[in-house]
Amino acid sequence: MYKHILIPLENSPADETILTHIKPLARMTDAQLLLVHVADGWVARNFNQLQLAESEEMKQDRAYLERRRSELAAEGFTCAAVLALGEPSDEIIKLAREKNIDLIAMTTHGHRLISDLLYGATVDKVRHAVDVPVLLLKVKT
């Protein structure tokens, strides 16, 4: 069934929604988890081409990912973490293809109308660009 699950994290309380839901599935299928956060600030988007120093935001994101990875590993999950840089949808799609992912599990915020155009773009682009199932969970507010 699912052996490699990619989980984009936002570094926000919304992450609990997807992690709480996906852990039983990952246990049942003995899946490996790949946690991903995409830093998309100015420094992150220009980090490689301008050879910039890591921003404070990137350092915090890296620490957050490592903390989450460690927590899941302590619970018995095989888990890796990647801090990607750039456009979130592009990086999620790229990692899904490179890492032999067979499920992407991510949150959606359930915006309406104009907000969907602005904030739903990542989910929409990912689900249309990949050939694997995408599990979407609405964040509980």
Nearest-angstrom CA–CA distance, 1 and 4: 9
Nearest-angstrom CA–CA distance, 33 and 43: 27
Whether 96 contacts 6, CB under 8 Å: yes
Q: What is the pLDDT of residues 61-107, one digit of tens each?
A: 999 999 999 999 999 999 999 999 988 999 999 999 999 999 999 98
Nearest-angstrom CA–CA distance, 101 and 119: 24
The closest alpha carbon to 102, from 43, 49, 45, 30, belongs to: 30
Domain 4-138 architecture: 3-Layer(aba) Sandwich (3.40)
Q: Where are the domains of the chain?
A: 4-138
Record the pTM: 0.87
User: Residue 61: what pLDDT?
Assistant: 92
